């Protein structure tokens, strides 16, 4: 939810650890959620909304990407991978939906710091490392030369192409929506139109190696979803004091951080693929952090302030529910997340629903 006082509040925000197996994407994917949105109790015996949400069925166990470790390439230097802060690691460890704040007692289950998301105009995006395309990544190109690979590419470049290949090979098969509540009985099971939009890439020669870059044409200033995607990733992986240094009110030119990002590298035939490692559980599992607006915000991101009243209040249902957010994610982006997980050798995707 976005408040009219320009304070972007964490209501509702959900963290979903999304796993996918080799079976149907819709049938095999599952979620873990974190949210500050109140959810009405469904069972009279439950004392509060948190207990009701925790009663949701846990996700099925999914096998790791068996080939990822086999083909993994260790880079010469690897910066540390970020870890979830503010006690959010329990979201990865325990299945179900986690509330930021108990709807009845008003007690916080996580740091109250998360209750306010600074609007984009308050965040110093210049303090973050800029995105580096494959053709400009010296580490990726250097590893490719040592490994004798002819092509290099990043996850964000390949996933749209692989999605197109999937739709072609599957004869545009619809997704499986059998597991949804009756409210979705007459809702479409076809993937969203955005999955079928044209995709263009540029093949750039770099001393005998070909780098595959996205061709996005002229990029605009970005939407609220893009901006918060960057700032929220930082917000959820550093403590409050460090995050505040990224705000324009506290940022100084001498504080600019150009710290390199951690990547997973994998060999596939003549390709060397790069996938950013957003987060780790501190053991042997890594996952991506994704941000995603609620239905009302996604439908009109340029006018998001007019839709700040839309809240996720229920576990299931056609509107204002976690089920609706999950349904839309399956139709829209889950297949890309699935391919990104395979390329990155990751264990899960963590999705924040704003």
Q: How confident is the model at residue 13 (pLDDT cuts 50, 70, 90)?
A: very low
Average pLDDT over residues 296-302: 86
Buried b (16+ CB within 10 A) or exposed e, 300-320: eeeebeebbebbbbbbbebeb
In tens, the pLDDT along 240-249 reads 999 999 999 9
Domain that holds residue 215: 8-353
> pTM of the predicted model, to two decimals?
0.76
Domains contained in the chain, number: 1
Q: How confident is the model at residue 128 (pLDDT cuts 50, 70, 90)?
A: confident
pLDDT of residue 341: 80
Q: How confident is the model at residue 96 (pLDDT cuts 50, 70, 90)?
A: confident
Range of 15-29, 198-212, 258-272, 338-352 with top mean pLDDT: 198-212
- Residue 1 in any domain: the answer is no
- Residue 2 in any domain: the answer is no
pLDDT of residue 346: 57
Average pLDDT over residues 279-297: 82
Query: What average pLDDT does the chain have?
Result: 76
* pLDDT of 255 over the 50 cut: yes
Average pLDDT over residues 301-328: 89
* pLDDT of 52 over the 50 cut: no
Average pLDDT over residues 156-165: 92
- Residue 3 in any domain: the answer is no
* pLDDT of 208 over the 90 cut: yes
- Residue 67 in any domain: the answer is yes
In tens, the pLDDT along 67-88 reads 444 588 888 788 889 999 998 8
Q: How confident is the model at residue 345 (pLDDT cuts 50, 70, 90)?
A: low
* pLDDT of 273 over the 80 cut: yes
pLDDT of residue 236: 92
- Residue 179 in any domain: the answer is yes
* pLDDT of 172 over the 60 cut: yes
Q: How confident is the model at residue 144 (pLDDT cuts 50, 70, 90)?
A: very high
pLDDT of residue 3: 31
53 or 151: which leads in pLDDT: 151
């Amino acid at each position: 939810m976005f408040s009219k006082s320009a304070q972007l509040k964490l209501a509702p925000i959900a963290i979903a650890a999304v796993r996918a197996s080799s079976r149907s994407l819709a049938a095999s994917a599952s979620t873990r959620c974190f949210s500050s949105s109140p959810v009405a109790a469904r069972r009279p015996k439950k004392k509060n909304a948190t207990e009701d949400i925790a009663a949701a069925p846990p996700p099925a166990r999914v096998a790791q990407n068996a080939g990822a470790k086999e083909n993994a390439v260790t880079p010469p230097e690897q910066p540390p991978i970020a870890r979830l802060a503010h006690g959010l690691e329990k979201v990865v460890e325990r299945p179900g939906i986690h509330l930021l704040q108990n709807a009845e007692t008003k007690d916080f289950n996580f740091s109250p710091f998360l209750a306010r998301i600074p609007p984009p105009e308050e965040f110093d995006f210049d303090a973050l490392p800029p995105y580096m395309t494959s053709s400009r990544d010296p580490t990726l190109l250097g590893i490719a030369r040592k490994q004798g690979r002819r092509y290099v590419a990043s996850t964000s470049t390949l996933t749209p192409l692989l999605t197109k290949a999937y739709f072609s090979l599957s004869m545009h098969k619809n997704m499986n929506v059998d597991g949804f509540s009756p409210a979705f009985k007459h809702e479409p099971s076809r993937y969203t139109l955005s999955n079928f939009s044209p995709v263009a890439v540029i093949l750039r020669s770099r001393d005998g190696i070909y780098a595959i870059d996205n061709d996005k044409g002229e990029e605009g200033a970005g939407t609220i979803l893009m901006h918060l995607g960057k700032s929220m990733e930082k917000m959820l992986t550093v403590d409050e004091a460090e995050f505040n240094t990224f705000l324009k009110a506290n940022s100084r030119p001498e504080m600019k951080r150009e710290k390199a990002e951690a990547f997973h590298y994998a060999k596939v035939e003549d390709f060397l693929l790069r996938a950013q490692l957003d987060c780790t559980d501190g053991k042997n599992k890594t996952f991506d952090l994704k941000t995603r607006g609620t239905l009302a915000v996604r439908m009109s991101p340029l006018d998001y302030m007019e839709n700040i009243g839309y809240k996720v209040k229920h576990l299931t249902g056609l509107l204002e529910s976690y089920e609706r957010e999950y349904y839309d994610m399956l139709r829209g982006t889950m297949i890309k997340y699935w391919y990104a997980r395979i390329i990155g050798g990751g264990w899960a995707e963590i999705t924040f629903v704003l």
